[in-house]
Amino acid sequence: MHKILIVDDRPENIQLIARILESSFPSARLYQAIGGDSALKVIGQISLDLVVSDWDMPGMNGIDLIRSMKEDPKTAHIPVVIVTAIMLTAKDLEMALLAGAHDYLRKPVDPQELTARVTAALTLSGCHLNEIREKDLQLMEKTLIHVKNNEFDINMTRDLEKLLEQCSSIPEVQAAIRTLIGKMEQKIREDSWQGFEVAFQNIHSDFIKNLLQSHPGLTKSELKLCILLKLGMNTKDIASMLYLSPESLKVSRSRLRTKLGMQECDSFHTCLSSF
């Protein structure tokens, strides 16, 4: 279900475009905003697939709206189709495209032309989301390999701990085993995470920044947990990735839920996908 926002300073223009889109895209969910300032509030609250905006509006006009959207990493990818009855020259078209508009449409709006341009813009939006999903799937595959490696190292550590109990009469052997256990635990905590974090940042470069802007009190460990929850990993794999017991992970999730201001029924994946 596509989510499309229609922006204009005149309600009759919004209704005209809405009727065309309702006819051409019956499954789409349409939103309306009177003026650019109101539109920016809606854009910040809803995950949109497309914005169709008038250019000439009092206060924040359509070009200003695009520029504001491009400055925010959470909305920069949303295509905008500019509609105008006044700014009709080739220079105006160039200005709109340079500002970041996906397309440009003249008033009075032709229904077939609007449908064609909106279809193209929605295709672009869908391609962007599919690309992100594909990269996330590839990252998940790599992550599961790390998880398997961690599980092997964890089992080795447990075996060493059992051996440590059997060598209580040999202090030198105990010291050597403790050193080895310490090195393996450090490897489990750090080595597998470093490569994973680089790969994640390449896909979601602004996730941590956006998350910390809204919740500056999150710790490094909580940020790691947020990354894994955003990818939709299950509890068992997260515990292995972060070298936590199931009980410790449950406590960490509960503490994180409180810090993020989430209700018990809220999904971590849904909440974190907005950043």
124 or 225, which is more confident: 225
What would the pLDDT profile of 95-128 be if each residue is shown by its tens digit?
A: 777 887 888 888 888 889 889 888 888 877 665 5
- The pLDDT-based confidence of 165 (bands split at 50, 70, 90) is confident
Name the percent of the chain in helix, strand, coil, to the closest 5.
Answer: 65, 10, 25
Could you tell me the pTM of the whole model? 0.52
Beta carbons within 10 angstroms of residue 141's beta carbon: 9
Average pLDDT, the chain: 80
How high is the pLDDT of residue 100?
Answer: 78
**What is the 8-class DSSP label of residue 109?**
P
Cα-atom radius of gyration of the chain, to the nearest Å? 26
Hey, what domains does the chain have and what are their CATH numbers? Answer: 3-109 (3.40.50.2300), 132-272 (no CATH)
How high is the pLDDT of residue 125?
Answer: 61
Instruction: Match 């992970």 to its residue by tokens.
Output: 249
Q: Is 51 exposed, middle or buried (0-12, 13-18, 19+ CB in 10 A)?
A: buried
Instruction: Give the DSSP per-residue string, 210-254.
Output: HHHHH-TT--HHHHHHHHHHHTT--HHHHHHHHT--HHHHHHHHH
Q: CA 94 to CA 100: how far, in whole Å?
A: 10
Tokens, residue 184: 């393996």
What would the pLDDT profile of 166-193 be if each residue is shown by its tens digit?
A: 776 677 777 877 777 777 666 655 555 6
